[in-house]
Amino acid sequence: MEIPLKILEIDQMGYHVIIEGMINKLKANVLIDSGASRTVIDLNRLNYFLDNPLTHAYDKSVAGVGSGQITSYLTRIPRLQLGLSILEDLEVVAIDLNAINRNYALYDLPHIDMVLGSDLLLQLGACIDYGERKLTFKN
């Protein structure tokens, strides 16, 4: 199964890769980040995607490149669809993605709702093909 990649140029200095997904049947922009250990959802978008979202403090260390400690929570997503792959009752980390989204807004790039980390990339057997601009899941 293949999902088309959108490769976004960031300030002529680098690139970010996003795909389109569905969180509880609502369209979501998903940033692919193989350097992120966990998949995260934007804390500010929980009420949009989830009915009565429940969060619990996440006591593990969460840090981003160039940032200090990040306040984080655990939550569950009833349904995440990436291409034809559907994951149900998925535990993810919720963090504030405003810093990323403010930076994206400067370059007129789409809002990021979720970061797909290596936990799910490994689980799904993901293969990123930059030349063909596609993400393939083997599992």
**SS3 state at 127:** strand
How far apart CA 52 and CA 115 sit, in angstroms, is 21
Question: Tokens in use for 35?
Answer: 């350097």
2-137 CATH: 2.40.70.10
**Strand partners for 115:** 31, 40
* pLDDT value of position 62: 57
* pLDDT value of position 128: 96
- Ordered per-residue pLDDT tens for the chain, 139 residues: 799 999 998 877 789 999 999 999 999 999 999 999 999 999 999 999 999 887 777 766 555 544 556 788 999 999 999 999 999 999 999 999 999 899 899 889 999 999 999 999 999 999 999 999 999 999 8
User: Would you say how long the chain is, in residues?
Assistant: 139
42-to-56, 112, 126 alpha-carbon distances in Å: 15, 8, 22
Q: Is 68 exposed, middle or buried (0-12, 13-18, 19+ CB in 10 A)?
A: exposed
Q: pTM here?
A: 0.90
* pLDDT value of position 32: 98
